[in-house]
Each structure stands twice: as C-alpha cells, then as structure tokens.
Amino acid sequence: EERYNPELVEPKWQAYWKENQLFKVTEDPSKEKYYLLEMFPYPSGKIHIGHVRNYTIGDVVVRYKRMKGFNVLHPMGWDAFGMPAENAAIDNNTHPAAWTYSNISAMRAQLKKMGFSYDWDREIATCRPEYYKWEQWLFLKMLEKGMAYRKESYVNWCEKCQTVLANEQVEQDKCWRCSRPVQQKKLWQWFFKITDYAQDLLVHCDQLPGWPDKVTVMQKNWIGRSVGSELKFKIHGRDEDLVVFTTRPDTVFGATFMCLAPEHPLVESLSKGTKTQDEVAAFVKKVSSQERSAEGIEKYEKEGVFTGAYCINPATLEKIPIYTANFVLMEYGTGAIMSVPAGDQRDFDFARKYGLEIRVVVQPEGEELDGNTMPEAFTGSGVMVNSGEFNGLDSTKAMDVMTDWLEEKGRGKKTVSYRLRDWGISRQRFWGAPIPVIHCPDCGVVPVPEADLPIRLPEDANLLEKGGSPLPTLDFFAKATCPACGRQDAKRDTDTMDTFVESSWYYLRYCSPRYEKGMFDPEAVKYWAPVDQYIGGVEHAVLHLLYSRYFMRVLHTLGMIDFKEPFTRLLTQGMVCKETMTCPDHGFLFPEEAVKNDDGKLVCTRCNSDVEVGRVIKMSKSKKNVVDPNELLEKYGADVTRLFSLFAAPPERDLEWNEDGVEGSNRFVNRVWRFVLEWVEKIDGIEPFKGSACDLASKQAKDLYIKANQTIKKVTEDIDKSFHFNTAISAVMELVNDLYAVDSDCVDDEVKKVILFSIENILLLLSPIIPHFCEELYEKLGKTGSILEQPWPEYRKDSLETDEVLVIVQVNGKLRSKFKIGSDTEDAVVKETALADEKIKKYMGDKQPKKIIVIKKKQTLVNIVI
C-alpha cells in the first residue's frame, strides 16, 4: 500500500489486542507494579479534545512502562452522577440513567477507536449500585466515628420553583429557569469533618515531590492556615463576650468598632428593641440573597448597619459600637471582627463611609500618619503609638507581647485558624448516591443497617419539570420504617451525596472493581495503590485532589490502608487551544463561516465583513473554536491524532491546535511508512547489526549506527524523565531524515544491517505513540506477535559517540588551539593537521618548527617547539 490506511490497520490491531487480552492485568508479586491513571471523564456525550490529549499522554507512558517490564494497571471508568444528566433528562424528556448509560457506550466506543490500552474488564461507573453501595457503607462508618455530622447551613433557594439550586444554577443572583432572585435558605445538611485533617493535609503538601509546585501552593492557600489570636470583647450591659479572630493583635488599641457577620447568632438579639432593629432585619434579609463565599462577597460594596449595641475594647476599655457588615463571613474565624480602620482597608472604607473614628496605632518608619487625612489604611509594620504602655515598641514584637498581656487579663489567647471548611456533602438533587440514614420522630437520625445497603436510587423515577429532586415526593422511596424502633412513619433522607465523594476513592475501586465484600480487596490495594502517576486538568488542583487526599486519611484512620497520599506523582496537562474568528456583526464564527474572498481577505460568509482572526484560546463551544475528535478520527485515524497531540507541545504546556500541524504529523507517518516498505525487500535475509560501532568498517554504517543509538537514548530519557514526547518525536524524525539520505540502491550488507537495526528500533520507539502503525509495519518486517510485547530497546553505551579525540595544540608550552580528530589517526597526520590549523599558523608566522611532540593519552597533546 502506498499510504498508511488507518481504516484498515487500526481496527485490525484493536481486535488483535482485545482477542489476545494484551491489556488485561492481574496482581503479580513477581513483577514491579506501575499504576497510571487519568482523571475519569464525566459522561457528557462524547469525548472532547482535552480528553484525547490527556488519555494519549497516559497511554504512551503506560505502553512504555509495559515494555520496560512493569506490571501496569491502566483502568478507565465514568464519573457518572451529576447535574447535567438531570438537565438533559428534563430537556429531552428522558431519564438521567438512560441518558448517562447511552453516553457511556458512545464514549467507550470512541476511546476504543483511539486505541487506548485500558483493561476494560475493570471499567466502573459510579452511578451503579455496586459502586455507591460502598460509598454508603463508608458514610455509615464515618458517621459512627464522628467523622460525618449534621448541621444547619445555607443553600441557594428559588422560592418560585420551590427548589434548591446548585451554584451553577445561579446566574447573577437569579434562578437560571425563572430569573427570580435567589435566596439563602437554611437546611439541615451533612458534613464531612475534613478540618480535622487540615494540619496534616497542609504539612504533607511539602512532601509531594512528584506534584507540580503550583498545585501544592494552591492546596496550601485553600487550606489557608492563619496564625493569630482570639480576643474577647465584653458586650456592654450584658454578662457575655464577643470573640473575634485577628491576625493583628498588635492593633487592638485601634479597634474603634466591631463588625458581626449578618448570620451571626447575636445580631438579632443585640438589635432587639434598639432604634435600628428594623433596619438591621432588612439588611440581614438583603444579604441573605447575596453570595456569601470569600470570593462572592468581593462583588458587593461594603456596607453595614449599627446594631444599637456596644462592646468594650479590652485594651482601651472604651465603649465601641457593634455593626453588622456584609464583608464579614460567618464561616471564617469566629464570624466577628474587631475593626481597625487604620490598619485594614475594608475597615478603612467602612469607617469613612459611616464616619467612624480612624485611629493610627502603627506608625510607619519616618512618616507621620493622621487618621483624618490618611488616604488609605496602612497595613505594614512600624512603631506602636496611641497604645498605652506599648508605645514605642516594634509592631511585629507587639503581636506576642500584647496577646500575652491580654491573656493575663483573661481577654485573649493565641490560636490558629484555617480557611478550609468542613465539606458539605448533601445535595438536594436526584442523580446521586442516596445518603443512607432514616429520620425517625422518636429516635432522630438512625443509620440504615449495613445489610440494607445499597439504598438504591429509583432509576425510573420521573423528574420534576422545574428541576429539583423527585425523591421527597416518591413515597415508596421516602417513607421508611425506623430500623431502631420500628415506627412506620419514619422518613428516609432524600438528599444525595456530592459527586466529589465518588471521585475521592474510585482509584481504589479499580484495584478490585468487582469485589463484593467491601470497598476494595485489601490485598489488591496493597499491591496496586497508591497511584504512581496521575494525569489530569489543573482545574481539579484543589477540590478533587484535596478530597482524595482527605479520603485516604479517613481510610488510614479506619485502619483500611497503610498510606495517606493517593497520588505519588501528578501531571497537570495544559489546555488545548485554537485561534478564534470574529465577525463584527455575527460574533464568533465557525471555521467554515469564514472564507477568503477574491482579494485573499478573510470574510464572513453571511455578511462579507472582514473577519478578525483573534487570540489563541482554550477550545470551547461558545467560542466556536472546537475541534471534534470524531472528525479527526475519520480524516486521519487514531495514530496521527495521537502523534499530533503529543508532538505539538510538552504535556504540561498549552497546545495550540492547527491543521497544518496535523497534516505535518500525517506526512511524517506516511514518510516512515514508505521508507520501511521500500526497505522491506532489500533487507530480506539480513540480520540487524547488534555489535559495537567500532566494529563497523564504513563511516556511513558507523554514523548511522551511532545516530540510532543516540536516538534510543534520547527518546528513553525524554519519556522516562520528563514525559517530553515532543522532543522524543523530533529525535526520531532526525534519525528518519538521516536514513532517508541513504541511497538504497548502492549500499553494502553492513549498511543494510544497520538500517534494519534502525528500522526495528524506530518502530519500537514509536510504538507507544502510534501503536497501530508500528504493529502493522512490525508485521511487515516478518515478525510474529505484538510489538507491544517486545522489551523496550536498549542503546549501546559504547556506540553513542563518533570516536573522536580532542587534540590540544601547544606552541612552546602554551595552549594555542584545539580540534577533534579520529582516535586512530596516525601521528604524522595529527602533526600535519596541527600545523595546518589557522590559529597555529598565526602563532608560527614564518618560523619553522624545531621539534613536534605528539603525546596520546585520553586527549592527544601536540607540542610544537619553535
């Protein structure tokens, strides 16, 4: 065949691999294991280009490790619960389960077409009861151990649709369906106590050498450890304290007012009967419809209301007003802050807005700040002023000293605060794993007995039209008998678990996916876990990876595993990007909507306006710059698609998609194809050369052989050390170029042997990258079996360098020049070459050498005496 024909070749080898079960693995203690995992996909309908890149990277490493002799686990499955299934079900009048399962089969077929080497016998889908049964089991264990608890907490609520809204369903504070402003509603919900592990999770961030720094930094910031103090302010006229958390106890003399989060339990009672009572209530109500996360509050102007109450500053003993303010979060510290407008910008803005005193207590070196005129807060360190006995002290020293002072008075202590919150896992959604508890009017919360697991999601339930879970409306599901007292009118918990719960442990399930006696077979996990190499998008740098690390700690505490870190090495691959095209009238255009006109200008097919070719950005539907893997598969096949997605950029960087690049990959594949087929007949009956380069007679054979060995070394190192497949591929391309330069009609057997050696190794080196192609050519070379079962090629250390030696030339004992020459060059020729050297000629001038000495050691020394 003239050209590589993926339509014939690729299905052929996929069938061969399947039939011979080449990717099936079992635990084999005699072999070293390697567990590689790519983040599993959400079954949205079809694979996108990001998946293709992610899985290709993983597949190459897996195939390489297998050839290196490792017992490799490489599974695939589906993160199958989640909201899009519910939305699609409502929109298309189908059922989430039906939608999900049909997407799974479509995507599975696509992955198989890409030739990825998964052990499909280990496939899992998290929406299957066999899977979530064990998640429910773990929930019960955590409940028993006090690792899961219930508390009242806020959710987004649409009063019109009478439903809870996920954050994604809130669009600019409004319900995505009916546009009514969203409210915050308090509901009882389940939490996992991840904060118990905050310190451990933080400390180990520094013990993950196989993770990118940017990811561990993000995790550390998310955990957000803050060392500070808790200070007690007595409430005026009451025998009660307000506790604040501050990282700046040194500024306590400057605390001229106090702010409480609107959700703070004391807001209502403090304002009761005061002049501002109604104003406070209205403010609290208003804030309840705003986003109340650390990021969310940044969107709103800082504002607040005086509660009418006062408290006593424990340092100055002054009476200071208590406000409630929208920039204070209930979820951080104590939900109350001492406001120091001179030292904190938010407090400063607030004080200016409401005419509150700004009192400087930290004076910067060499400056004289005045609270009435300073343009902004001063947040740095300096010298203490207006702070009683502490005046003149360095403010950084004052932190400790003043906390101790307040501690003596029973008004403060040092504490550590974490930004990390407990993980709220209740979702008022249908398509998720049911939470296995029953609520009894007499017994309260009663865990479902283990024997009753799994609590099955009724897969054929009809969804409510406006969204929201039908579970509470389904009597056969929601009505339950209390397992403790037998009351018939108990109620099942109708919430489901956050889908991040499923993804926090799926990698352990792969070790023994059909195990029926527990979450996993301890022996299998002992052999395979932890994951040696995890690959996925950086968008999961925080939540998914942090929850997974937390779950392993839970299992460790429960004595079920003996490690704490799930992923030894992590690769976060870059995004796949492409240029965008915009028309001034029609916005973003699909590629086919922009054509070149007669003047060679790119214009819009609809309005003829000039099209602007815009930035190269992440592929997304809304930007109309998406490449569909299906089209690539049809046009080029799997191997060219794989090759391009590896060749265009190193994995951790963004990859710019361009058609020319894909064409280039296609040309290279066909170039190798033609080259190998051309030689196949000519090297018939020839054995590949296997010796040392110095045993080769001709320079041509020697050079080629050395190049081939260098290529093996380079490709091995690029894959092994850094996953830099792009430079590995370039190295093979160079070798192919050198081979192409050989005239196939006039070479001797020695060169043919070297060429055969090179061809065999090119196929071995490329086999992880373009496996179907390499299998086919390997077969055409007359080999039997699969190339994938061959060991990874080794290079000869003695054949990496053309054997040249360095010649050092001295004139009257002084170094004057250097050059390289073949190691077996005769002395006479070395002398001649030295004398002919340009630099030496300059030093010699017209003088004649009296004596020339050649000394051959590791280097050759030529000493010319004039």
Point out which residues bind ligand ANZ (CB under 6 A): 226, 245-248, 251, 328-329, 332-333, 335, 337-338, 340, 343-344, 417
Q: Which is nearer to Zn ion, 442 or 465 (CB)?
A: 442
Contact assessment for residue 860 and residue 850, using Cβ atoms and an 8 Å cutoff: no
Interatomic CA distance for residues 260 and 307, integer angstroms: 9
CB atoms within 10 A of CB 112: 17
Phi and psi torsions of 812, nearest 5°: 50, 40
- The burial of 263, by beta-carbon neighbours within 10 Å (0-12 exposed, 13-18 middle, 19 or more buried), is given as buried
For residue 245, the partner it binds in ligand ANZ, Zn ion, none, with Cβ less than 5 to 8 A by kind, is ligand ANZ
Q: Which is nearer to ligand ANZ, 268 or 331 (CB)?
A: 331
Give me the least distance between CB of 231 and ligand ANZ, in Å please.
9
Give me the least distance between CB of 358 and ligand ANZ, in Å please.
11
For residue 169, the partner it binds in ligand ANZ, Zn ion, none, with Cβ less than 5 to 8 A by kind, is none
For residue 324, the partner it binds in Zn ion, ligand ANZ, none, with Cβ less than 5 to 8 A by kind, is none
For residue 343, the partner it binds in ligand ANZ, Zn ion, none, with Cβ less than 5 to 8 A by kind, is ligand ANZ
Contact assessment for residue 822 and residue 812, using Cβ atoms and an 8 Å cutoff: no
Give me the least distance between CB of 672 and ligand ANZ, in Å please.
57
Give me the least distance between CB of 127 and ligand ANZ, in Å please.
38
Closest residue to ligand ANZ, based on beta-carbon distance: 343
Spatial CA neighbour of 506 closest among 145, 23, 116, 76? 76
For residue 484, the partner it binds in ligand ANZ, Zn ion, none, with Cβ less than 5 to 8 A by kind, is Zn ion
Q: Which is nearer to ligand ANZ, 542 or 805 (CB)?
A: 542
Residue count of the chain, please give it. 866
Q: Which is nearer to Zn ion, 188 or 740 (CB)?
A: 188
Query: 773-787: b or e for each residue (b if 16 or more CB lie within 10 Å)?
Result: bbbbbbbebeeeebb
- The burial of 199, by beta-carbon neighbours within 10 Å (0-12 exposed, 13-18 middle, 19 or more buried), is given as middle
Interatomic CA distance for residues 553 and 530, integer angstroms: 13
Query: 530-565: b or e for each residue (b if 16 or more CB lie within 10 Å)?
Result: bbbbbbbbbebbebbbbbbbbbbbbbbeeebbeebb
Interatomic CA distance for residues 329 and 336, integer angstroms: 8
Question: What SS3 class is residue 691?
Answer: coil
For residue 337, the partner it binds in Zn ion, ligand ANZ, none, with Cβ less than 5 to 8 A by kind, is ligand ANZ
Interatomic CA distance for residues 278 and 285, integer angstroms: 11
For residue 202, the partner it binds in ligand ANZ, Zn ion, none, with Cβ less than 5 to 8 A by kind, is none
Give me the least distance between CB of 475 and ligand ANZ, in Å please.
43
621 is in an annotated binding site: yes
For residue 340, the partner it binds in ligand ANZ, Zn ion, none, with Cβ less than 5 to 8 A by kind, is ligand ANZ
Which pair of structure tokens corresponds to residue 130? 């066999």
Instruction: Please report, as a single letter, which amino acid is at residue 383.
Output: V
- Residue-by-residue DSSP string for 455-485: ----TTPPPPTTSS-SGGG-HHHHEE--TTT
Contact assessment for residue 336 and residue 235, using Cβ atoms and an 8 Å cutoff: no
Q: Which is nearer to ligand ANZ, 139 or 253 (CB)?
A: 253
Residue that is written with structure tokens 């599901």 in the block: 477
- How many helices and strands (H and E) does the chain possess? 24, 37
Contact assessment for residue 399 and residue 248, using Cβ atoms and an 8 Å cutoff: yes
Spatial CA neighbour of 428 closest among 121, 42, 164? 164
Beta strand 531-537 pairing with 567-573: parallel
Give me the least distance between CB of 143 and Zn ion, in Å please.
16
Instruction: Please report, as a single letter, which amino acid is at residue 44.
Output: S
For residue 247, the partner it binds in Zn ion, ligand ANZ, none, with Cβ less than 5 to 8 A by kind, is ligand ANZ
Question: What SS3 class is residue 67?
Answer: helix
Give me the least distance between CB of 247 and ligand ANZ, in Å please.
4
Phi and psi torsions of 229, nearest 5°: -135, 155
For residue 332, the partner it binds in ligand ANZ, Zn ion, none, with Cβ less than 5 to 8 A by kind, is ligand ANZ
Alpha helices in 343-420 (DSSP H): 345-354, 395-408
Q: Which is nearer to ligand ANZ, 195 or 247 (CB)?
A: 247
Q: Which is nearer to Zn ion, 484 or 542 (CB)?
A: 484
Q: Which is nearer to ligand ANZ, 229 or 503 (CB)?
A: 229
Q: Which is nearer to Zn ion, 447 or 768 (CB)?
A: 447
Give me the least distance between CB of 401 and Zn ion, in Å please.
56
For residue 248, the partner it binds in ligand ANZ, Zn ion, none, with Cβ less than 5 to 8 A by kind, is ligand ANZ
Give me the least distance between CB of 434 and ligand ANZ, in Å please.
34
Site residues for Zn ion, 440-499, by CB under 5 A, read: 440, 442-443, 482, 484-485, 487
Q: Which is nearer to ligand ANZ, 380 or 410 (CB)?
A: 380
Give me the least distance between CB of 236 and Zn ion, in Å please.
46
For residue 442, the partner it binds in ligand ANZ, Zn ion, none, with Cβ less than 5 to 8 A by kind, is Zn ion
Q: Which is nearer to ligand ANZ, 344 or 502 (CB)?
A: 344
Give me the least distance between CB of 130 and ligand ANZ, in Å please.
43
For residue 386, the partner it binds in Zn ion, ligand ANZ, none, with Cβ less than 5 to 8 A by kind, is none
Give me the least distance between CB of 328 and ligand ANZ, in Å please.
4
Give me the least distance between CB of 192 and ligand ANZ, in Å please.
22
Interatomic CA distance for residues 860 and 826, integer angstroms: 11
Q: Which is nearer to ligand ANZ, 421 or 671 (CB)?
A: 421
Using CB under 5 A, which of the segments 191-199, 439-447, 571-579, 857-865 binds Zn ion? 439-447
| Residues near Zn ion (CB under 5 A), total | 7
Q: List CB contacts of 767: < 8 A, sequence separation 6 or more.
A: 63, 67, 774, 775, 778, 787, 788, 790
x-marked contacts with Zn ion along 357-396 as a string, rule CB under 5 A: ----------------------------------------
Interatomic CA distance for residues 409 and 137, integer angstroms: 49
For residue 335, the partner it binds in Zn ion, ligand ANZ, none, with Cβ less than 5 to 8 A by kind, is ligand ANZ
Q: Which is nearer to Zn ion, 483 or 637 (CB)?
A: 483
Give me the least distance between CB of 490 and Zn ion, in Å please.
6
Alpha helices in 160-272 (DSSP H): 198-204, 213-223, 266-271
Question: What SS3 class is residue 631?
Answer: helix
Beta strands in 574-611 (DSSP E): 576-583, 587-588, 594-596, 602-604
The annotated binding site for ATP is made up of 621
Site of interaction with Zn ion (CB under 5 A): 440, 442-443, 482, 484-485, 487
The annotated binding site is made up of 621
